[in-house]
Amino acid sequence: MNRIITFCIFLVSFSSPVFSQETTGLFPIISSKDVEGGAVEYSLSLQVLILMTILTILPSVVLGMTAFTRIIIVLSILRQALGTQQTPPNQVLIALALFLTFYIMSPVLERAWVEAGRPYVDGEIEIQEGIEKGGEIFKRFMLANTRQEDLIAFTDLAELPQFEDPAEVPFRVLLPAFITSELKIAFQIGFLIFLPFLVIDLLISSILMSLGMMMLSPMLVALPFKLLLFVLVDGWSMTVGSLAASYLVE
């Protein structure tokens, strides 16, 4: 348990010397003390603080280092193309995006746990080595799914030389390049999804205009036809399957 707490402390950058010895004074609820064997024991209040901090930064990690961004954008564009307003609701879309993200990222998460998480918990490696190994696994995933143009652009913005080995790319360059790449690919997929529904809207609008029914909303008439088309082609399976297949996972 103490090794897990130490691992969490490193992740949230609690590396100040104030946490390496028994502390009192302004913050008596946050304390630590040395125990036998050279280990450090932290107070319960500090453990709760670390847990709350991890829960706070967890959404940023999910958004920035996984497939969640591309998936949720494509699903949102799909709902807008269908013209169903708030159906499916936001909670359903987010749940679907999270489960699909977990499905896509499962090989990466399992490899990170086997090569970094479990050895650290078992005491086989130190915390720094565990974080480095876990970071390399996520870095390989992000590099495989980042456009080369975005990587070069952010490398130039950071005024760094071009990297001959992709493994040398630092996270401060890779993270914004990966998110930018995800946004562009998501909008490209969304454009392709939007086209057939746009054609239906144009056809319905032309038919209504030719019949003189200008007071009737084309969106209202086109909605059942778009839903029928989406159901006939098994649209949800095609969309989810295409999103899953668009990622390269080692």
Contact (CB, 8 A) for 97 and 119: no
Distance of CA 212 to the CA centre of its chain: 48
pLDDT of residue 10: 45
* Residue 61: count of CB within 10 angstroms of its CB: 13
pLDDT of residue 28: 46
The model carries a pTM of 0.73
pLDDT of residue 181: 92
pLDDT tens-digit profile of 12-61? 443 344 333 444 444 444 455 555 555 555 555 666 777 787 778 777 77
Average pLDDT, rounded, for the chain? 78
- Phi-psi category of 159—alpha, beta or left, where left has phi over 0 and alpha has psi -120 to 50? left
Give the range with max mean pLDDT: 6-20, 37-51, 65-79, 219-233: 65-79
- Three-state DSSP class for residue 33: strand
CA–CA gap between residue 220 and residue 202 (Å, rounded) = 13
CA–CA gap between residue 78 and residue 75 (Å, rounded) = 5
Spatial CB neighbours of 138, under 8 Å, sequence gap ≥ 6: 65, 108, 112
pLDDT of residue 229: 86
Question: Residue 238 is which amino acid?
Answer: M
pLDDT tens-digit profile of 4-26? 444 444 444 433 443 334 444 44
pLDDT tens-digit profile of 119-159? 877 777 777 787 788 888 888 888 888 888 888 888 888 88
Cis peptide bond prior to 88, omega within 30° of 0: yes
Average pLDDT of the segment spanning 84-110 = 88
* Residue 97: count of CB within 10 angstroms of its CB: 22
pLDDT of residue 37: 54
Contact (CB, 8 A) for 155 and 36: no
Q: pLDDT-derived band of residue 3, with 50, 70 and 90 as boundaries?
A: low
Q: Which long-range contacts (CB under 8 A, 24 or more apart) does 14-20 make?
A: 14/50, 19/46
